[in-house]
Structure 1
């Protein structure tokens, strides 16, 4: 783990040395260490103007899916700060449970994230190690697969919904987790996809509307399952 942290620190230094905002943003989106996953917002109000639950909001002023409203990684109406530190331009910061490094999404006054949290006693892994895998970690316990809603204003946990609880059937890469798929919302429905661990639709208050088991995936090279779902009208799209 220490060696991984040293490699990560060097990559952070290289990314910052470029001074290129897109490269820096993409680096941090893809390289958060799963075992130390924490979540912070810097002057978040300048990025996403809030709104009350149930209020009709302009999707272009929200961040309802992976890479934002246009799928480009750009907030068209945002005005974020250009500098951060441990304290500068940081409104709040919280630790999150378990493993998870899917991108957060934002709608109105809520931030949504997913997590895969190991619970209970150690349980020997007897599942599969994918063909061509390297630097993998085994799921050596039962995991809870959950969605959390967090207050945009102060970082408080508004609700948490555990959607499944079992031991994953495959190992995954050490830089990934079993909750790498980003959720998606249209402001009425919240879709969370955990790959082999289920597809779920909730309302904005965390009530489960429906769920779908698409079976176990068999990935190669051990990089894990990370395809984020998409919404198109009344259709949920997964691959």
Structure 2
């Protein structure tokens, strides 16, 4: 037992000391939330020997980007109207540099959101930081601005939440909003557009693209409203797609082995709770009080699901709904499916009927991405319902409630035989992984958590509403 403990400590020390070169390019969910087993991760977070450092930071909900000796995140000072990119020292937590951007006007965000939501990306030489309509910024490792690119404006009540990903010499962003949705690839060296592909049929979603290198091909995959689509990396040309997703997608697909896994849920996508919009002529006959051939918000009955979503349906923002706007969103509501699925690689065109291994329709997450770990897919639903599926078959192995109730925004993280789940209130549940998983610990940070925990070199970095924590053996 003593010998085994010593070996573990040696391995932990070696891995904790791994720096830059071994990190590789870093961006949101590049590790699929499965961080490996070659090191010990904490079961208890209240032990002093586990806390390496805590550093207070300004508000923001972006997941930290950990690369080399830096921990980089974004912040938003509402009073000063200042967005900032902040670099902390990976070993001590002390601030190394800060780059601020003054903002006069920025799109609105969700009540639980922030303009500082997108996770920075790093290719080992530069950081790529996205601030919605304020733009995409490129900094070197010392915080010097290399270039910036204007983006937007985006017509969206909830802002722009997708994070940049890196592939070849490109930085890629998916921007699905109420109008002018698109996928854009930008040259990392100079900020110039290499290609831009319209996704005009897509309505608002907030998923981050995924680079899928399978046995068949290497593609960019984007999950959006109603459809998951694979694109050619060099040209941005759509290659294949799968229909049947929710009407708004916040989660990001994950890859395990030669399969891709997806889970998405939005109100109105369950068969028993559909949001229905009658045909436009019928709605017009019933609601068009002034007989002008359009439907104003004031003409809709109180409590109407259309009235509650008027902003996104009114695509030209003229205060009225015409036939094309009505039809587009009637189709979205009619076609939406809340579902988890497993996909095989390859194919061309619509592969919905040929490349989907299985579907599962219960216990689905709204925002947090699932993870697949040792052949089991894990999903956490608001109110703390954790569901595990056999990744090969889609059969449920267990469903149960974990300690953290309320809403979940942070994605699941798996490693060292454990699953970590953080709710918005700041309660972390530590779960022993397996088809019949069990809760083995919990910790209440007493601070809001929306960012996803990050594991690098055997240490776990957790961002709360007020601080960044680094945990691991010292």
What TM-score results when the alignment is normalised by the length of structure 1?
0.61
Q: 2:118 matched to 1:158?
A: no
**Equivalent residue for 1:144?**
82
Q: 2:163 matched to 1:228?
A: yes
What SS is found at the alignment partner of 1:209? Answer: strand
1:203-214 superposed matches below 5 A? 203-214=140-151
Residues in 1 aligned to 2:47 and 2:155: alpha-carbon distance in whole angstroms: 40
Q: Is the 8 A contact 2:106 2:134 kept in 1?
A: no
What SS is found at the alignment partner of 2:78? Answer: strand
Residues in 2 aligned to 1:228 and 1:48: alpha-carbon distance in whole angstroms: 27
**Equivalent residue for 2:27?**
65
Give, in angstroms, the shift of residue 50 of structure 1.
4.2
Residues in 2 aligned to 1:151 and 1:224: alpha-carbon distance in whole angstroms: 30
Residues in 1 aligned to 2:72 and 2:102: alpha-carbon distance in whole angstroms: 19
**Equivalent residue for 1:19?**
none
Q: Is the 8 A contact 2:69 2:89 kept in 1?
A: yes
Q: Is the 8 A contact 1:106 1:112 kept in 2?
A: yes
2:139 to 188, 202, 209: 202
The change in CA–CA distance for 1:188 and 1:73 in structure 2 (over 3 A counts) is: same
The change in CA–CA distance for 1:171 and 1:181 in structure 2 (over 3 A counts) is: same
Residues in 2 aligned to 1:113 and 1:47: alpha-carbon distance in whole angstroms: 23
Give, in angstroms, the shift of residue 47 of structure 1.
7.0
**Equivalent residue for 1:174?**
111
Give, in angstroms, the shift of residue 168 of structure 1.
3.4
Residues in 2 aligned to 1:210 and 1:83: alpha-carbon distance in whole angstroms: 43
The change in CA–CA distance for 1:59 and 1:94 in structure 2 (over 3 A counts) is: closer
Q: Is the 8 A contact 1:173 1:224 kept in 2?
A: yes
CA distances 1:178-205 after superposition (whole Å, capped 9, x unpaired):
1100000011111000111110111111
How many residue pairs get aligned? The number is 162
**Equivalent residue for 1:104?**
64
Of 164-173 and 197-206, deviating more is 164-173
What SS is found at the alignment partner of 2:96? Answer: strand
Give, in angstroms, the shift of residue 103 of structure 1.
0.3
Greater share of residues in strand: 2
What SS is found at the alignment partner of 2:128? Answer: strand
Q: 2:154 matched to 1:217?
A: yes
What SS is found at the alignment partner of 2:51? Answer: coil
Q: Is the 8 A contact 1:46 1:78 kept in 2?
A: no
Residues in 1 aligned to 2:41 and 2:67: alpha-carbon distance in whole angstroms: 17
The change in CA–CA distance for 1:158 and 1:237 in structure 2 (over 3 A counts) is: same
Residues in 2 aligned to 1:166 and 1:119: alpha-carbon distance in whole angstroms: 11
The change in CA–CA distance for 1:88 and 1:161 in structure 2 (over 3 A counts) is: same
Greater share of residues in helix: 1
Q: 2:57 matched to 1:93?
A: no
Q: Is the 8 A contact 1:48 1:106 kept in 2?
A: no
Q: 2:80 matched to 1:80?
A: no
**Equivalent residue for 2:297?**
none
Which fold has the larger relative contact order, with Cα–Cα distance below 8 Å and residues 6 or more apart in sequence?
1
Q: Is the 8 A contact 2:132 2:159 kept in 1?
A: no
- RMSD of the TM alignment (CA)? 2.4
The change in CA–CA distance for 1:151 and 1:170 in structure 2 (over 3 A counts) is: same
* 5+ long unaligned stretches in structure 1: 1-43, 121-142
Residues in 2 aligned to 1:155 and 1:218: alpha-carbon distance in whole angstroms: 37
Give, in angstroms, the shift of residue 89 of structure 1.
1.4
